[in-house]
Each structure stands twice: as C-alpha cells, then as structure tokens.
Structure 1
Amino acid sequence: MRTQTALSHEEMSAIECVGTPEELVERARGLAPALRERAVETEALRQPPEATRQDIQRTGIHRLFQPARFGGADAPFRAAVDVMTALGQACGSTAWAVVQNISHNSMMCRWPLEAQEDVWRSNPAALLSGILIPNIGRARRVDGGYVLSGRWPFVSGVSLADWALFTAFTPGPDGQEEDRHFLVPKGDYQILDTWYAMGLKGSASHDVSLDEVFVPEHRTTTIDNMRAREARYPGEPINLRAPLYCMFGVFIGSTALGIAEGAVQTYLEQVRGRISRASSRAVTDFSTQHVKVAEALANLKAARLLIYGACDQMTEILESGRLPTDEERARCRAEATFAGQLSTRAVNIVWDAAGGGAIYDRNPLSRYFCDMSAANRHITQNWDVSAITHGRVVLGLPIDNPTL
C-alpha cells in the first residue's frame, strides 16, 4: 500500500531539471551523427542498440513534455518538431521509437498523479511505449482496479521501454463500452518477437501480450482525459491542456518529415559527384535533375510550414484560454497528415531520380525510402481518413473520429 501520494518538497527539490526546450533540441541535433553511424546496426538488431538507449536517457530528449515537477521541460510544440526532424534525418527507426517516448510521456500527464509518481519518482528518465487500439484488448473491473488481457501489434520502441500504455474496451458506468487506457510496467507484459518489416526495421515495433494482468485503479484513465481540457491553474503549460491524439499526429508527421529531409540530403550529396554511365556526363548537368531537386525541396518546405502552422495554431488557441473546436482539431490532424503526404512525395522524387544504384541495401537512400513507406502506413498518416474527418466537419456534419 502506498503511504505517500505526492512528492515531498525535498523530493521535488532533488529532481534536476532536464534542461530547457532549446537545449533538448540542440542535444537531439548533436546526437544525430551517432545515430546515423548506428543506423545499419539498428536495422540489424531490429531495435536501437544499448548505446542509443543510454543516449536517449542521458540527453533527456524524450522528456520534452514531462511536467517540470518531475524534471521535465514542459516544452512548446515546435520543440518536438525540431527534435523529431533532427532524429528522423539521422535514423528513421530510432526516431520512430523516440516519438513514442515523447508522445506517451505527454499522455502520462493526464494520468492520476499517483500513477505519474509510480513511473517518474525513482526514474525521471523512464522510457514509455504503448499502443492505443482499444478493440483488441479486454479488461474487467475487479476490486481495486482491472484485470487486463490481450495482444497488441505495433508497440514501437517497446524493447527499450520501462512502462507501456495499452487500451481496451471495458463496461462503463452507464452500461456502454468505455475506451479505457492502462499503464503497465515492463515486468507485467510479454514482448513477442514479431517485428520483421520492410521499413523502420530497427524500431522494435513488436507485438505485446498481456494475460490476466492486474492494473490498479490509479494506473488507468479514459480517452476523455486525452482530449483538450481547461487550464487548472494560471500559467499551466499548454502541453498539459492540448488534445493529445490530435497532437500525436503532428509529432508522427514531424518524424516523417525528418526521414524525408534525410533522404533528400543524402541524394544531394550523392548526385553532386555522380557521372552518368550512359553519357559520361555529370548528372548535375541534366535539367531534369534540376527540376526534381527543386520540386523535392519545395515539398519539404511546404511540409515543414504545415507542421509548424499546426503547432502555432494550437498554441495560439490554448494560450487564448479557450479550447479548439471540432473543426480546428480536425484541421490540425488533416494538415499534419498532408505534411506527411508532401514528405512522401519528396522521397519518391529523389528515389526515382537516383536510378539503379539506389536499390542496393548499402545505399542509405534505400533505407530512407523503405522507412518512409512504412511510416506512411501509420493511421495518423492516412490522408483519406484525416481528410474525410476534416471535410465532413467543414460541411456541417458531426466529427467522426472519437479520439479527436
């Protein structure tokens, strides 16, 4: 039985701040060369190596949205864009794992304080993973909490995680099914070795199984708590009030943008010294190359502006003291998704321009291409889904995405 439900003043004073948001962005950029060097090893291991896990915890880049009371940065949304693009440029798989750490840290802020302390009191740098698909798990209420069972796929970064979040439908107070979220320590779930994929090979996105695991009441919450909420005190950081599922799409889109920027930069480095075997001319002499490079760069610029714009709009709304409307939440998700579409176009352009040499595994461009193909399958990157939601709300129909 817990005898303390809040950090004491002495404990709070002893927790060192991880750094400013600007410092975390610079650390991510500084870490990028090492991640790029480990990219091949990461793919071979099918997870980031131990050195990368230690680097993540040492730099604290995953603690952008962790509350300051636990040493976190309480960062603005743009900081996550800058961190994720820096990581994605270096290693898509590592970035895909870290975006889960960042996003699930953010979600933990909506859990009861006692659950936050379970995770962060003794290990403020804890890594979190999770999967938020409710209809493949089952939970039943018991005395003091719930018993949870199920098997969830795509739990990215789970091999590195100390805790993971899962969702399942449970009987609600009104007799209808309730989408409930559960916080589970790594000792209570089994990682299944299933992640053999064509892209993001090193993201450790394995299946996870739970069999009759007890989860105490304070380690659960509902989907309602993931939506935007009113400020509880003056000056409360906006990341604690944001619609989290909506912003999750922004951060995933930022990761995709980083992968695309890495692909285009890799292509530019390669093409500048390339000679056409067919004509013996420098490839840079061909005007078709000029068009493709300009188009790829324009797609990247437009994608970054859309992502930044979504962050700035949500920041402005929350700082004004109001909550985003259905249309604003749907638009935020749609614009982040379209940014992912533009990023994909940029990768496809340089992939097509690269010729036969790009298909070798030894060419980093092939890894970027496969990583982008995999990233583009994430539900937040599904343009049809996001566009339909935004379009129907604009036309006066009710929002159709319960997570938004």
Structure 2
Amino acid sequence: MAVRSTEAENILKAVREIVPTLRANGPESEDRRWIVEENIDLLDKAGVFRVAVPKRFGGLDLSLKEQVEILTEISRGCGSTGWVAVAWISSAWMATLYPLQAQEEIFKDGSVRISGGFTPTAKMVPAEGGYVLNGAWRFNSGVRGAHWDLLAAELEHPDGTVEEVYAMVPVDQLTIADDWHVSAAIATGSSTSSAVDLFVPAHRVVTLEQAVLGTSGGGAVTGSKGRDYSLISFVVAESVAAYIGMARAAYEEIVATVKGKPLAYSNVADQAQHPLTQIQIALAHGKIEAAEALADTYLTMLQERADAGEQPTWAEKAEVRGKAGVAIMLTQEAVQALHSISGAGALSRKAHFQRFYRDLQGLARHGLMAPNMGLEVHGRTLLGLDPDSLFL
C-alpha cells in the first residue's frame, strides 16, 4: 500500500474537518444553483486547488490515489461541491498536457480552478498566431467559479479537413448563461458557456490525439515523475470518487436517522432493531466497500504504469471504464437500498439524504460515466473485439 505524503495527509485532515460545513451548506447551495462561496474558500484554504499543479509552479503534485481520497471526502460533505472539485482538479491535471508557455500562464499562482466543455460543439479556424473560436458548451460544471475553461472544438483546416482540439480559455473571456435548472447536481452551476470570435493563441491549443496519447510534449517539461496518466482513465478514476463519497454520506445519514426512530403504523419503537433495516444497512455498507475495493484495483494499475513511464494498454484503459461502471452501479444500488428504509422524513429538503440520493442518481446519467457505456467498452475487449470507442 502506498504511503500517503505529508501534504496529502494535511489536506485530507483539513477536508475531513470541513465536511459538516459543506453538508450544512447543501440547501443554500441548491437554492442558489451554485455552491456557496464559503465552500470554495474552505477548499482553497485547505490547499485543494494545488493538488494537481506541478511542483515547479508551486503546486503539490499529489498522486492519483491521493487526489481521489481528497475528492471522495469533499463529496462526502457535498455531492455538488465534490463534482465541481473533480472538474477543477482533473482539468488542472489536463493542463499539464499543454506546452510549457501555456502552463506558465495557467499555473502562475500555484492554485488554479479549471472547468471544461468536452463535447466539440464549437468551431475553430486558423488565424495569425493562433485560432478564432466560436460556439457554446452545455453542462460546463463549475464554470461559474473557474479561472480557465478547457473547451473542445472542431478545427477546420484550409484544405477542408477537420480535427478535434482542446482550447484553454480564460473564463472572463466567455459568456455564461443562467440556464442550469435541474433536479440533481443542482448546485454544480453547470451552465452553458459560449464564445464569439474569440482569439486563442496557438500554444493554448492541443489536438484530441495529442491529449489522449500524451504526445503534446507538455508532461515532459513539467518534471512530474509518475504523473503521466492516461487522459480518459484519469478523468474517469477521479470522477468515481464523487459517487463513492456521496454513497458514504447517504449511508451516514440513514444510520444516524434510524437509530431510536419509531416505525410509523407499527409496534417497532426503534427502527434500528428491525431486521429489514439491518439487512439493508449491511447490504449498502457492503456495496460501498465493494465499489471502493474495485476502484482501488485500477487506481493501483494506473499509478504503476505512470511510475514506470508507460501508458496503460488499450485493454487496461477499457478495464478502467468497465470497472468504474460497476463501481458506480454499486453506489447506486447502495443508496437505493438505503432509500428503501429511509421513510417519508427523508423527502424533506432539510434532510441531507435526499440530496445525496438525487445527486448520485442524476450524475450516473453523465455521458462518460453512465455505467452501461463503460461496461460495453470493457465487454467488447473481454470478448476479443475492438473497443470501438475514442474515449479510452
């Protein structure tokens, strides 16, 4: 088992101390449709936004497993805050794939928050010294509190060919719509961002192929040994942390609720004494632990590959997608078991359980994280077929 660094230990301790505050701020954050500023300030003070920044820029450069531990704890406090933190931190790691000139601009303060619109719903054309960007990106989680936005676009070359690229853009150069009206992950502020005739310097643009294969040259100049993870595998691994953290929180809330609670319309004075409650609690506990154990297998593999200076094989990348899908399904099943014994009181907006339940089930519909999508990719490779997916 890897030894946790002192920096990671300190941040984890600080985050655990603020979990009650993050949880208590949930209702207000939902009312605002964006996490309260106190949550961001507390995470910033804890050093969370430095964890994926290379040390040469004043960051902490924590390992993937350390980052996942921290993100899990944040999500145990607030699902929306955890999801936003996943977006900001995973995108900060993605910034290390850019040329050194871009990294010096992005990481100049040592602490950074980067959101992303990863569906190429925009067009980009060449211009002197760079490109001109036009388009809009929906579901841009955390963009309201980000410094930069990593945006996918289709680059149209003069010869008519098109390739997908990722542009790094300061958020203050974008327009953010007030269009996030949903029933889950309400406080993520995942609004639509848009750009009109926005100039992007060439050094802030990498192709999808460069990002996925790690061939942009960025990682080689940052001196971060053992941090060259596979892009999609890295994003998926960090995202699963949010689901596990929310499932843990839902479990904690129900365990606290059922103790000493009479069961309405029955002779049961303490719900904790009822066999069905005991069975569902044990079932949920086991499924959450199973999800954590499964996640640990691919986290270990990804770190071993990075430490060896190797990229995971295509089969291993597909395995990450599949195992992540199963882990998310396990967390869904865990909170569903808890939901079955939650009682009518859990419907109250003051009850934290219902928020974790809604957020987890809603975020399981995310295109990249939907369990069946990952299972299909993994299943194809297990059957000796081509994975038939670019998202590996």
- Does TM, normalized by the shorter one, top 0.5? yes
Residues 167 and 403 from structure 1, CA distance in 2 versus in 1: closer, same or farther, beyond 3 angstroms? Answer: same
Residue correspondence of structure 1 range 125-274 to structure 2 within 5 A: 125-134=111-120, 136-171=121-156, 176-229=161-214, 232=220, 236-239=224-227, 241-274=228-261
Question: What does 1:80-119 correspond to in 2, within 5 Å?
Answer: 80-119=67-106
Q: Give the 3-state SS of the residue equivalent to 2:139 in structure 1.
A: strand
> Which residue of structure 1 lines up, in the alignment, with residue 295 of structure 2?
307
The equivalent position to 1:68 in structure 2, one of 35, 45, 55, is 55
Q: Distance in 2 between matches of 1:172 and 1:95?
A: 39
Distance 1:64 1:172, change over 3 A: farther
Whole-Å Cα distance in 1 between the matches of residues 265 and 288 of structure 2? 31
For 1:290, the aligned partner's letter is Q
Report 1:240-389 matches (<5 A). Answer: 241-281=228-268, 282-389=270-377
Q: Is the 8 A contact 2:112 2:147 kept in 1?
A: yes
Q: Deviations over 1:77-120 (max 9, x none)?
A: 11122111111111111111111111010000001111111122
- Unaligned stretches of 5+ residues in structure 1: 1-17
| Separation in 2, partners of 1:309, 1:293 | 25
Query: Aligned residue for 1:56?
Result: 43
- Please tell me the residue identity of whatever aligns with 2:125: R
Query: TM-score under structure 1 normalisation?
Result: 0.90
Which residue of structure 2 lines up, in the alignment, with residue 394 of structure 1?
382
8 Å CA contact 1:71–1:124 kept in 2: the answer is yes
* Corresponding residue SS for 2:188: coil
Q: Give per-residue Cα distances to partners, 1:329-358, cap 9 Å, x unaligned.
A: 110121112111101111111011112222
Identity of aligned residues (%): 28
Residues in 1 aligned to 2:105 and 2:241: alpha-carbon distance in whole angstroms? 30
Number of residue pairs aligned between Structure 1 and Structure 2? 384
> Deviation per CA, 1:57-77, whole angstroms, max 9, x where unpaired?
222213222111111111111
The answer (yes or no) to whether the contact 2:283–2:334 under 8 Å persists in 1 is: yes
Identify if the C-alpha distance between structure 1 residues 347 and 174 changes in structure 2 by more than 3 Å, giving closer, same or farther: farther
CA RMSD of aligned residues (A): 2.0
Gaps in structure 2 of 5+ consecutive residues: none
Name the TM-score, length of structure 2 as normaliser: 0.93
Equivalent-residue separation in structure 2 for 1:275 and 1:50 (angstroms)? 38
Q: Secondary structure of the equivalent of 1:381?
A: coil
Structure 2: distance between partners of 1:283 and 1:326: 49
